[in-house]
Amino acid sequence: MKVDVVVIGGGAAGMAAALKVSEQGARVVLVERDERVGGILNQCIHNGFGLHYFREELTGPEYAERFKKALEEKDIEVLTNTFVKALDVREKKLVVVSEDGIRILETKALVYAAGARERAFGSLMVPGDRPSGIFTAGVAQRFMNVENRLPGKRALILGSGDIGLIMARRLTLEGVEVVGVVERLPYPGGLLRNVIQCLEDFGIPLFLSSTVVEVRGRERLEEVVVAKVDENFQPIPGTEKVFEVDTLILSVGLIPQIELLEDLVEVNPTSKGIATSNLGQTSIEWIFAAGNCTAIYDLVDYVTYEGEMAGKYAALYAKGERFGPKVAVKAGENVMVVQPNWYDPSEELTLYVRTRKVIEKGRLVVGSFEKTFEELVPSEMLRVKIPRRHLNGLSEIVVEVKEE
């Protein structure tokens, strides 16, 4: 099959990209390994999606449905149950696998939008037994919201990122007793609105500066031991507390899914995702990327904006346009994550920034641009447009947050 643009991944980023490619009049094929498009949105049945993009509060499936309908209306070719197995960078060919067998797609440009995966229990090196009853939050969420199965009866949650907080509420609503959420940082990892709506409103305790130090149980999980940690995250002896639970839910972070491109393109050192310019272009000029495979975004709306950008410029590339030169964007003082990696003046620079620590009052400095923000926390991503005039003549753009 020969096309102008292939989009890998039918989540929020991939759907937005495919629509933009089609708007530009280029031929696009969207490849999704799942049986339907929507990605992670399909299992996020809570509300809180679309406040920026649609100025409405939608659930995940509602948000996905709008894009799915648009794909159908535009007659965009979607290959579901199809997995992209390999990529030939020189020939611009992709090997895709489905029930029908193996197929080769030949393309002029590519948008990679493969999302993220969850950090697993094995990587935490928690001592103890290895019983059943330990789930990542996304797996537990899929069990409950898509497959209608409960993971257990009494649960403890490790990690107070948004997924952990949302699962605390979801489990409670489904009749599971949630004994608490454990967080090793001295502040919650998720959005403030989720701490209030998911924990405080349901009386679920949050144990800050604490972590799981042991899991016990023969067949099924029986006990989880939690201890306080010091400023280096080392458990403090004598502070152990035992929780009798049959379920431990882990919400300990998402990791950009980059395996297919990992050895081919540059990686963003701050997000560990695929490095891109503000047009979504990677270090290989015909490959574009967007969404959680580039950096973990807080909001789906941001993912959609970036998906649209990558789709637009992939289509223009396929039609023969070329872009650049690009200026490097780097993380400076107090900046943990910055996306994108390069600024291409073809579009204004929209920056996504996470600070390294909690900052009560901080001044974002980018070229001659300065703006003061209050209550900056690493868990809440800043999205800031930097007008071109502030970046003129710079050979490198350093993004800093100065404490005030």
Ligand X SMILES: Cc1cc2nc3c(=O)[nH]c(=O)nc-3n(C[C@H](O)[C@H](O)[C@H](O)COP(=O)(O)OP(=O)(O)OC[C@H]3O[C@@H](n4cnc5c(N)ncnc54)[C@H](O)[C@@H]3O)c2cc1C
Using the minimum distance from each CB to ligand X, give the nearer residue, 291 or 311: 291
Sign of CA dihedral 97, 102, 103, 108: positive
The owner of tokens 């800031």 is 384
What size, in residues, is the chain? 404
CB of 194 vs ligand X, minimal distance in Å: 8
**Interacting stretch for ligand X, rule CB under 6 A, among 179-187, 294-302, 373-381, 391-399?**
294-302
Q: Is 113 in the site for ligand X (CB under 6 A)?
A: yes
Per-residue x/- marks for ligand X, 132-171, CB under 6 A? ------x--x--------------------xx--x-----
Using the minimum distance from each CB to ligand X, give the nearer residue, 126 or 254: 254
Closest CA relative to residue 36, chosen from 5, 64, 3: 64
Number of residues that bind ligand X (CB under 6 A): 37
CB of 284 vs ligand X, minimal distance in Å: 17
- Residues near 74 by beta carbon (within 8 Å), at least 6 away in sequence: 19, 22
Contact 351, 392 (CB under 8 A): no
Using the minimum distance from each CB to ligand X, give the nearer residue, 206 or 397: 206
Alpha-carbon distance 201 to 183, whole Å?
18
Give, in order, the Cα–Cα distances in Å from 128 to each of 112, 159, 224, 241, 255: 39, 19, 9, 15, 25
Label the pairing between strands 254-256 and 247-250.
unpaired
Binder to ligand X among 172, 211, 270, 292 (CB under 6 A)? 292
- Residue 15, classed as helix, strand or coil, is helix
380: which DSSP letter? Answer: S
Instruction: Show the tokens assigned to 203.
Output: 């009386």
For the chain, what is the radius of gyration of the CA atoms? 22
- Residue 85, classed as helix, strand or coil, is strand
CB of 360 vs ligand X, minimal distance in Å: 26
Q: What angle do CA 199, 203, 209 make, to 5 degrees?
A: 60
Using the minimum distance from each CB to ligand X, give the nearer residue, 78 or 327: 78
Closest CA relative to residue 290, chosen from 302, 299, 298: 302
Alpha-carbon distance 258 to 246, whole Å?
34
Using the minimum distance from each CB to ligand X, give the nearer residue, 183 or 301: 301
Binder to ligand X among 14, 235, 273, 311 (CB under 6 A)? 14
Query: Which amino acid, 61?
Result: P
Question: Which residues in 15-54 contact ligand X (CB under 6 A)?
Answer: 31-34, 39-41, 44, 48-49
**Interacting stretch for ligand X, rule CB under 6 A, among 103-111, 217-225, 290-298, 390-398?**
290-298
CB of 308 vs ligand X, minimal distance in Å: 12
CB of 318 vs ligand X, minimal distance in Å: 20
CB of 196 vs ligand X, minimal distance in Å: 13
**Interacting stretch for ligand X, rule CB under 6 A, among 112-120, 222-230, 275-283, 378-386?**
112-120
Question: Which residues in 80-99 contact ligand X (CB under 6 A)?
Answer: 83-84
Alpha-carbon distance 274 to 293, whole Å?
6
Q: Is 9 in the site for ligand X (CB under 6 A)?
A: yes
Label the pairing between strands 210-216 and 223-228.
antiparallel
Using the minimum distance from each CB to ligand X, give the nearer residue, 206 or 254: 254
Binder to ligand X among 26, 221, 299, 353 (CB under 6 A)? 299
Q: Is 199 in the site for ligand X (CB under 6 A)?
A: no
Contact 342, 329 (CB under 8 A): yes
Q: Would you give the distance in Å from CA 39 to the centre of its chain?
A: 11
CB of 294 vs ligand X, minimal distance in Å: 8
Per-residue x/- marks for ligand X, 301-340, CB under 6 A? x-x-------------------------------------
Interface positions with ligand X (CB under 6 A)? 8-14, 31-34, 39-41, 44, 48-49, 83-84, 113-116, 138, 141, 162-163, 166, 257, 260, 291-292, 297, 299-301, 303
